[in-house]
Structures are given as structure tokens and as C-alpha cells.
Amino acid sequence: MSPTRRLARVVPLALVSTLGLVATVGLGRASAAGPAEAAPVVTGDQPSTLGRPLVGGADPSVIKVGDLYVSAKSVDGGIAVRSATTMEGVATAPKHQVWRDTGGLGEVWAPEIVHHDGQYRIYFAAGTGGAHRMYHISSPSPDTGYSAATKVALPNDKWAIDGVPLTFGGQRWFVWSGWSGDTNVEQNLYIARMSGPTTATGARYVISQPREPWERVVGNPYINEAPQPIVDPNGQLHVVYSANGSWSNQYCIADLRLRAGGDPTYVWDWYKSNGCQFGSHAATMMAGWDPTLNVDGPGHHTFVLPRGDVAAGPPSGNRFPTMFHAVAKGTPYSWANRQWYSGTAVWWGNTTYSRANVPGPTTNVGFGLKFFE
């Protein structure tokens, strides 16, 4: 998230469910016609009255805890939580403001909610310009009683956003998007071991940089951000992320897959998809993946997993829910026109990721992801 992108957090956005679209798995995209009319901009943080669950917001984060779907988003100078018995119901559920920036941290970006160790935990970035760092609040209840914000102690203490915790291989980890140094040259994806919810142990390790031609279509800076970890049916870890500038309809979703038995801290044990796996431009899509029919620039998604647990990834062959933001086709691409969409994904087997001129085998075969509008 560049200084340019931070404007996206100030402009009101909207949430729309795309239920009712008929999708064909073999095509890798939804096959129904788009909405009869482009969804209008929903200003502020108010529900729409158009019969669809619309609400202002960006960077979706939704998990399922028991019978509840719980969402978190940045609003009103802080963070709000909504809970409902359906995924789409979070759009119109009562808004509970669980934290406000009374300490003057700065812009509050992209809260990520999980339910770990019996606590609801929300991780978010806050700061101004180059001061953005990751913070954490927690509560035993989804919509009240959250702690004061605690800074997440990441190695090197550099600019950091979009962080999310995970447990893999019996070890706590944290993945995020950040800068290598103190200037906004490019946004990389990093991982670090954690000894607790807010404390890293050891170094940070880069696992992805925006160096492929299809993720350098729009830049200044070039971007890898919004990492979403998930474990596939083979037990392999993926970090699914967004590439290209969010201010462009070239924004898209791609995949990093850790090789079987690989070391999460070793960059060459990660294999990157050979193109976008969810995007709106055919030229940047991975071969065999088709561009969207109904939206432009899909990105910054969430897998709607039980408790936000990456190990709860569903088995092969079953669709599972996602949320992402995008702009309806036929609508001018701008942050003001961005909306949250509900969608689905499915694991796609025997997917080859290839590379050249780097250490290790040049190809890796495993699960990829097909996304549906």
C-alpha cells in the first residue's frame, strides 16, 4: 500500500453479494450475465436499500465462529465489527465500534480478524506515511470488550501493513506486506516466526517480491500485498496475495505455494503462480485461467474460514466462500466505486508453477485456486 493507495482508506466503498451467479468450474469463471445495472456507489457506512446487502467499506475480513459470521473493517477513525448468521448478513448487521484511534496513531487500514486461543484478535495497520506499523487488539467477545492497541513487534520495525497470523508446522507465524528499508521502493511479502500474538522471534524473511512482468503492469511502487494464508488438501501452505496497484483495474490475485516439506523462511521454497488467478485482464492471467465477466480489478480478498484458521481449508472439489473487493464492469474504475463482493473458490489440482534462473527445481506441481464471481 503506497502513500497513493492510502487514499483508498478515506473514500467510502461498498459491499455487494453476487449470489445467484451461475459458475462453471471447468471454465474457471462465472458464466452468467452481469448485473442488470451497475451497482451505485454507497456513501458513508450506511446500508443500501436496493435489495442487496451493500455497505460502505474496503479490504474485507470475515470469519465463521460457531453459527456466526464475524467481520471487521476500518471505519469512523477506528474499527467496527458486525456479526450475522449468514455471510452476506454482516452487511446489514448492527455495527459495533470496538476500537477508536484515541491515541492519534494515524490512518487505520485493513483490519484482519481471527479467533485464536479463545480470543477474537484483530490485526490492523496504523500510521501516517512511512510510519505505518501493525497493531493488535483482542477480546473474548466478537463485538465488545477489546483491549487497548498493542504494537506487533516485527523484526527490523519497518513499514508494515496487511498482516495476518497463522499456525503451520506447529509454529506460529506472521505474514505481512512491507518495505525493505525506509523508503517506498516496492512492497514485498514477509514472514516471521512468532512466540505469541504480538511478539516475533528471530528475523523477517522475504517470500515474494513484485518482479514478474504480469505483476509490474501498474506500479510506482510495484506491489505485493494483502497476503491470505491457507493450507490446501495436500497440507501445503499457500499465501494468496494481491498484485499491481489497487488504484488500477489491473489489481489482481495471485498465489504463492510452499513446496511439500519446504521451509517457509526460504524464498526459493515458494513457487509463484505464472500469472493472476483472479483478475479482469486476459493478458495477465495464468494460462487456463479466464478473466472476470462482471467485475474489474478484484483484489484484497478473504477466505471465510472457521475461526480464520488456515488449517481449516476445505477439501478438494468443494466450493468455499470468499470475499473480495472490485468495481462492477461498466462503472468507472475508482476507489469511490469499489465494492465488497461475496464469491467462491475451489482447489484446482495438478497445477504447475514454473520459474527460471533461480535455485531449486524449475517446476512445482500441486493445488492452485480457481475463483468465481
- Residue 55 pLDDT: 59
Q: What's the CA dihedral at 15, 16, 19, 20 to 10 degrees?
A: 180
Three-state SS at 276: strand
Percentage above 70 pLDDT, the chain = 85
Half-sphere exposure of 108 (CA within 13 A, CB side): 26
Dihedral angle over CA of 72, 74, 78, 82, nearest 10: -30
In tens, the pLDDT along 64-96 reads 999 999 999 999 999 999 999 998 898 889 999
What one-letter code names the amino acid at 38? A
Amino acid, single-letter form, for residue 156: N
In this prediction, residue 100 carries a pLDDT of 97
pTM of structure: 0.87
Per-residue model confidence as pLDDT tens digits over 158-171: 999 999 999 999 99
Q: What is the pLDDT of residues 299-341, one digit of tens each?
A: 999 999 999 999 998 889 889 999 999 988 898 998 888 888 8
